Amino acid sequence: MVRSVDSSTKSEFAVVTGADRRVALVPAVLAVTVLCGQLYLAAGRNFATILETPFLPYCLIGAFAIHFWTRPGAVERWCTLALAIAGTVWFAAFSGRFQLNWPCSIACGSFFGLASMTVLAAQTVRLRGAVQKEKLDTLIAGSVFGYAALFIAFILNLTTRLHPQTYDLYLYAADAGFRLPLCAWITKLVGDSPMLLQSCSVVYESLPLAVSLLYAYQRSGKRQLPVNVLPAFLGGGAAAYVLYNILPATGPRYVFGRTLPSNVPALHLVSVGDAARNAVPSMHLACALLILWACRPLGKWVRAVAALYLALTILATIGFGEHYVVDLIAAVPYALALAAVCATNGWRNNWRAIASGAGVTLAWIVALRFGTFLFQSAAFTWLASTGTIGMCLFLRRNILIKN
């Protein structure tokens, strides 16, 4: 990493031609554009976005983590921290929006990401050559998750308008095939424990930060991870929104509220309102699995934290009523396909995992939409679920060993 500009680099700057200066303006203009977009996302409507959108503050905190993982120079670090503290103090004292609660506390962390992007944009404008490119690359890396959150919100709103009715009752009927009220048990478990409820809330909302930390580590080059983080998570999210249009569904809380019926209602499409159609497959679970698998080369404590993150994600997705159990099962082969396509050893070495993961994911979607009668058999439901998980863990192990 380049931390400062030495005298030889400065002399190179002195001999650039007019054409070189004009070319160097392109990254500078791009940097300012990226920064202005992020400032608009955060400050628009008097900071309503970061207060009302759970994922955006974590995206911005992730930008701060990505910036500092590049080990910037002392002046750059102190300027960033000074801007972050000044922004936090202003927000708490003068914005009129600050309250002593968790959303506002996380919103304060957003100013650290905004400060990082401001300093990186200033460095991109000021510097030239390889150093300028490095700063611009870091700025874009820190900004991509914030823009992705905006894109995701747009796509989800689009699927809501395209599919006013959903297949939630079909998924609920498939869950009944387990012959155990798993959703009801987990919902009660999470709801009855304030500490577990808060932990699940933090984990559910902080997914962009977890991905940002993993991406920051990969960019540092300390150790090769088995998965290319950015293509896996962003590409996987984009592909999932195509699948949401095949089997549009929301989650049990949007259909039944907090009280789940003991008997399966007659199957028909239901009108749910404005809830996001993002049930099958569960991207939250797929991402948590990818994080765990990508952490395999790291230390035991890192893998333990990733495993805990996965466990809390499972509890959160079910306990908050956002997903059915079958949503999570279908997410496992989807995560396998993403890991294989984005493996650092090349997708051509993992074609069996890609074909199996994609094929089984589509098989679950087709079965849940057109073959709900199959899940009337407990044997079929349990065999299909355990067989899917077992196959994916076996093929995933081959991918990670090859890396």
Give the model's pLDDT for residue 15. 43
Give the model's pLDDT for residue 44. 66
Q: Which two tokens stand for residue 266?
A: 């007659």
Sequence-ordered list of residues with C-beta below 8 angstroms from that of 310, at least 6 positions apart, any chain: 285, 288, 289, 291, 292
Give the model's pLDDT for residue 144. 85
Give the model's pLDDT for residue 324. 95
Q: Per residue of the chain (403 residues), give pLDDT as tens.
A: 444 444 444 444 444 444 455 555 677 777 777 777 777 767 766 676 676 777 888 988 999 999 999 899 999 999 999 999 998 998 888 877 778 788 888 888 889 998 998 999 899 888 888 888 899 899 888 888 878 877 777 788 888 888 999 999 999 999 999 999 999 999 999 999 999 999 999 999 999 999 999 999 998 878 889 999 989 998 888 888 889 999 999 999 999 988 888 888 888 999 988 888 898 999 999 999 999 999 988 889 999 999 999 999 999 999 999 999 999 999 999 999 999 999 988 878 889 999 999 999 999 999 999 999 999 999 999 999 999 999 999 998 777 655 5
Give the model's pLDDT for residue 322. 93
Sequence-ordered list of residues with C-beta below 8 angstroms from that of 244, at least 6 positions apart, any chain: 159, 277, 278, 279, 280
Give the model's pLDDT for residue 72. 92
Give the model's pLDDT for residue 81. 96
Give the model's pLDDT for residue 105. 84
Give the model's pLDDT for residue 48. 65
Cβ atoms of residues 182 and 325 within 8 Å? yes
For residue 121, the one-letter residue type is A
Domain ranges of the chain: 18-145, 164-402
Give the model's pLDDT for residue 14. 41
